[in-house]
Amino acid sequence: MNRTTMRALILRRHGGLSDLEVVDDHPLPRATEGHVVVRVRASSFNYHDVFTMRGMPGIKVPLPVVIGLDMAGEIAEAGSGVSAWKPGDRVLVNPLNKQKGLMGEMLDGGMAEYCLVAADQLVAMPSRVTFEEAAPLPVAYGTAHRMLITHDTIRKGERVLVLGASGGVGTGCVILAKHLGAEVIACAGSADKIKRLKELGADEVINYQEVDFSKWAIERYGKPQRRSYDGGVDVVINFTGGDTWQPSLRCLKRGGKLLVCGATAGYDPKEDLRYVWTFELKIIGSNSFYDDDLKGLMQLIEQGKMKPVIDKVLPLEEAAEGLRLIQDREVFGKVVVTP
Ligand SMILES: NC(=O)c1ccc[n+]([C@@H]2O[C@H](COP(=O)([O-])OP(=O)(O)OC[C@H]3O[C@@H](n4cnc5c(N)ncnc54)[C@H](OP(=O)(O)O)[C@@H]3O)[C@@H](O)[C@H]2O)c1
């Protein structure tokens, strides 16, 4: 590579969308020992990028930074000591750098033409998986895979209620729960999202802007019972938190599971422990995406058993618009950027 600069989407300071800028003079990384330079073919946004843009308490981001956690591409250059990978290899990047933390937050991420990546973050892409299919996987679908499949939380025929079902993690949960044979009740906040969730295969849909999802579930399946396993749903998937937490506890059947991996609307919700002990509920946390989750997902795509939901594919010049769509809850599935 003779060039010394590249195009990238930079976050200059914490704040809002106006603090993001596409530049064409960001230093092009060179491969260092144990690292490769990936030519980014596709990257994708997550709600985490909104948190990074705004700034999160306790997380000191070294600014300016290239945002974007997810990326897939080809190796452009391999550094010394890298023997398992060579230029041209197609790779998906696990965004967690073991030394420094998350890509796109603690070090430059995927919203750029090229990115420096430690060799142990690379996962080989099967030839039948495209870059646009792979880029939406790591953070959102990887975490959904971990919650449902790696943690073995869903049984065939169980009733699984998914909150925030229209988003990245949400569409991943709907697809994987259906794949596992569950009856899926998908909840979202607009008529259009509800329609698309039905098309995605949800058995039941609830617009929680109009209907109390917890009451709906109790009316539909009966009140959960203390001395039997009648009533309620088997599983609630909740990464929204805030005022959705207590209603989630209320509609779970005895022995039911509440799966949690985030808290978009607030991490310290009002709690009611009586539901937890009376109905012997299990609260199961999941954090991040391991290489096996990413390999499992790419295998499912290769076998034709799943397809990530991509709402929009944008060029780097319009990437900030992609993040606005996520911030304003106007996305169904994922926004992919092709630098
Ligand atoms: N622990 C981990 O490793 C991990 C990994 C991935 C994600 N997460 C967390 O999981 C959450 C979802 O991430 P994502 O990337 O899937 O986000 P996303 O694509 O933006 O989807 C979130 C969905 O939640 C719904 N929602 C409900 N209340 C909301 C609110 N107050 N603000 C914004 N959206 C709201 C929205 O749907 P409606 O408009 O239809 O309600 C939205 O589609 C985030 O909190 C994220 O940080 C954690």
Q: Kindly write down the DSSP assignment for every residue of 107-175, as one continuous string.
A: B--SSBSEEEEEGGGEEEPPTTS-HHHHTTIIIIIHHHHIIIIITT---TT-EEEETTTTSHHHHHHHH
- Banded pLDDT at 287 (limits 50, 70, 90): very high
State the average pLDDT over residues 79-98: 98
Residue of the CA atom closest to atom 19 of ligand 1:
167
152-285: in CATH 3.30.420.130: no
pLDDT of 154 over the 80 cut: yes
- Banded pLDDT at 49 (limits 50, 70, 90): very high
Residue in 303, 301, 291 with CA at minimum distance from that of residue 123: 291
Give yes or no for residue 166 CB within 6 A of ligand 1. yes
Token look-up 């010049």 returns: 317
Sequence-distant (≥ 6) Cβ neighbours of residue 165 within 8 angstroms = 171, 173, 174, 186, 187, 188, 193, 197, 202
Q: Is 51 exposed, middle or buried (0-12, 13-18, 19+ CB in 10 A)?
A: middle
Sequence-distant (≥ 6) Cβ neighbours of residue 307 within 8 angstroms = 133, 175, 301
State the average pLDDT over residues 15-21: 97
pLDDT of 263 over the 90 cut: yes
- Banded pLDDT at 159 (limits 50, 70, 90): very high
Give yes or no for residue 303 CB within 6 A of ligand 1. no
Q: Which atom of ligand 1 is nearest to the CA of 261?
A: 1
Give yes or no for residue 79 CB within 6 A of ligand 1. no
Residue of the CA atom closest to atom 45 of ligand 1:
264
Q: Is the dihedral of CA 309, 174, 95, 302 positive or negative?
A: negative
339/335 Cα distance (integer angstroms): 13
pLDDT of 1 over the 80 cut: no
Residue of the CA atom closest to atom 20 of ligand 1:
47
pLDDT of 209 over the 90 cut: yes
Domain boundaries for CATH 3.40.50.720 within the chain: 152-285
197/168 Cα distance (integer angstroms): 12
pLDDT of 227 over the 80 cut: yes
Tell me how far CA of residue 267 lies from CA of 238, 239, 244, 321, in angstroms: 11, 9, 11, 27
- Banded pLDDT at 322 (limits 50, 70, 90): very high
- Banded pLDDT at 73 (limits 50, 70, 90): very high
State the average pLDDT over residues 134-142: 98
Domain boundaries for CATH 3.90.180.10 within the chain: 5-138+289-338
Alpha helical stretches, state H, the chain = 47-54, 131-134, 142-145, 168-179, 191-200, 213-221, 245-250, 273-278, 291-302, 319-327
Q: Give the residue with greater pLDDT, 57 vs 107.
A: 107
**Amino acid 321: pLDDT:** 97
**Amino acid 2: pLDDT:** 80
Q: What is the mean pLDDT of the chain?
A: 97
**Amino acid 201: pLDDT:** 98
Superfamily of domain 5-138+289-338 in the CATH hierarchy: Medium-chain alcohol dehydrogenases, catalytic domain (3.90.180.10)
Residue in 2, 1, 7 with CA at minimum distance from that of residue 27: 7
